[in-house]
């Protein structure tokens, strides 16, 4: 029976862990000094993972996801100072088990993004951003009980469409900044063995035909979305965030997905570049 690809239901779990340090700058748009302000934040998170890879097993594995996210962003002088630059690096590690709980998998993925967004100020406190992101990914899934094919590699690159909404609001004169970001891969390339093909055949024998495939929405319907709240505390700013990371593919007869719901927290500060 074919598995129907679908995104999991959103999970709403309380965030209990706060570990992290970083730095943040306010994102005003139209002055020369803004181009020297930089946002940097490091977040640590914990959540749930759902991992499925038919190269290793016909079953989905569910468990825990641990994640570190590092973000840096700043306004640039391009396009009259309306273009912002964002880099994001994250590492997540999952430990999952199958439905009958007689087998486990380890998984890991590193993700690096470089994005440019054009800023559209709707009101003095609300703005929309839209742009494109270079999205690079590499990782693995390791099945603890498999013999011939115990592991599956993950390697793919995408050009994503990206959008953000940023809202600076006040609750009883207390400032809070809310941000929502959505990245959707449009075009890319992915490494994948054919179903039943061993990595020995690829890397030793040299049967490399078709192991790199073009990807788009039809065979890589994925997304990453991030919702965060910045709350000033004394001389620092607390950032609470939730990420829904849904990566899935159907390439060379191999179907995969990794769904993660992760709650993160960190501390961010403002700093300014000195010429």
pLDDT in tens, 58-117: 999 999 999 999 999 998 889 988 999 999 999 999 999 999 988 999 999 999 999 999
Domain count across the chain: 1
- Using pLDDT thresholds of 50, 70 and 90, give the confidence band for residue 134: very high
Tell me the average pLDDT across 153-167: 97
Confidence tier at 274 by pLDDT (50, 70, 90): low
Dist CA 186 CA 7 (whole Å): 17
pTM score above 0.85: no
Mean pLDDT for 243-268 is 97
Residue 10: is its pLDDT beyond 90? no
Q: Parallel, antiparallel, or unpaired for β 271-272 and 104-123?
A: unpaired
Tell me, yes or no, whether 20 lies in a domain: no
pLDDT of 235 reads 81
The C-alpha R_g of the chain, in whole angstroms, comes to 20
Quote the pLDDT of residue 275: 56
Q: In this structure, is residue 27 part of a structural domain?
A: no
CB atoms within 10 A of CB 230: 21
Judge whether residue 128 has pLDDT over 90: yes
238 in a structural domain: yes
Structure tokens at 217: 């929405």
pLDDT score of 34: 44
Please give the residue range of the domain that contains residue 39.
Answer: 32-272
Q: Torsion over CA of 28, 238, 176 and 69, rounded to 10 degrees?
A: 60
For residue 183, name the pLDDT band (cuts at 50, 70, 90).
very high
C-alpha span between 16 and 22 (Å, rounded): 19
Please state the rounded mean pLDDT for residues 237-263. 97
Instruction: Say whether pLDDT at 152 is over 70.
Output: yes
Split at pLDDT 50, 70, 90, the class of 146 is confident
- pLDDT of 19 over the 80 cut: no
| Cα 62 to Cα 50: distance, rounded to the nearest angstrom | 4
200 within domain boundaries:
yes
pLDDT tens sequence across 203-223: 999 999 999 999 999 999 999
**Average pLDDT of every residue of the chain:** 86
User: For 62-120, what is the HEC assignment?
Assistant: EEEEEEEEEEEEEECCCCCCCEEEEEEEEEEEEEEECCCCCCEEEEEEEEEEEEEEEEE
For residue 68, the domain's CATH number is 2.40.128.100
pLDDT at 143: 93
What pLDDT is stored for residue 227 in this prediction?
A: 98
Please state, in angstroms and rounded to a whole number, the distance separating the CA atoms of residues 64 and 9.
Answer: 16
Domain membership of residue 5 (yes or no) is no
**Over 90: is that where the pLDDT of 3 sits?**
no
Structure tokens at 267: 């501390």
Classify residue 230: in a domain, yes or no.
Answer: yes
12 token code pair: 């709403």
Task: Examine the pLDDT at 55 and tell me if it is beyond 90.
Answer: yes
- Find, among 178, 180, 155, the residue nearest to 249 by Cα: 155
Percent of all residues in the chain with a pLDDT value above 90, rounded to a whole number: 72
Among 267, 243, 260, 266, which residue's Cα sits nearest to residue 43? 266
The residue-averaged pLDDT of 189-193 equals 97
Distance CA 48, CA 225 (A): 15
Q: Residue for token digits 């430990």?
A: 95
For residue 171, pLDDT over 90 is answered with no
CA distance 152 to 148: 11
The stretch 34-61 carries a mean pLDDT of 90
- 186 within some domain: yes
pLDDT tens figures, 224-233: 999 999 999 8
Q: Is the confidence at residue 2, as pLDDT, over 90?
A: no
Alpha-carbon gap, residue 25 to 40, rounded angstroms: 8
Q: Answer whether residue 54 is part of any domain.
A: yes
């Amino acid at each position: 029976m074919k598995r129907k690809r679908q995104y999991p239901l959103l999970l709403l779990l309380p965030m209990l862990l706060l570990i992290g340090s970083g730095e943040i700058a306010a994102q005003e748009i139209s002055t020369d000094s803004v181009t020297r302000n930089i946002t940097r934040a490091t977040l640590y998170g914990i959540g749930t993972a759902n991992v499925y890879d038919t190269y290793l097993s016909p079953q989905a594995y569910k468990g825990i996801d641990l994640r570190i996210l590092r973000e840096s962003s700043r306004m640039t002088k391009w396009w009259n100072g309306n273009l912002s630059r964002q880099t994001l690096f994250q590492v997540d590690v999952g430990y999952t088990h199958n439905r009958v709980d007689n087998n486990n998998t380890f998984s890991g993925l590193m993700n690096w993004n470089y994005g440019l967004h054009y800023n559209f100020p709707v009101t003095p406190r609300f703005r929309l951003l839209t742009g494109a992101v270079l999205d690079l990914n590499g990782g693995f899934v390791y099945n603890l009980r498999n013999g011939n094919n115990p592991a599956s590699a993950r390697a793919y690159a995408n050009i994503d469409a990206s959008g953000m909404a940023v809202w600076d609001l006040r609750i009883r004169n207390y400032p809070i900044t809310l941000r929502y970001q959505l990245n959707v891969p449009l075009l890319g390339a992915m490494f994948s063995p054919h179903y039943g093909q061993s990595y020995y055949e690829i890397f030793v024998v040299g049967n490399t035909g078709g192991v790199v495939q073009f990807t788009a929405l039809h065979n890589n319907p994925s997304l990453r979305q991030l919702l965060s709240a910045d709350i000033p505390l004394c001389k620092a700013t607390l950032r609470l965030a939730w990420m829904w990371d849904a990566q899935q593919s159907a390439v060379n007869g191999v179907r995969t997905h990794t769904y993660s719901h992760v709650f993160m927290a960190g501390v961010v500060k403002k700093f300014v570049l000195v010429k």
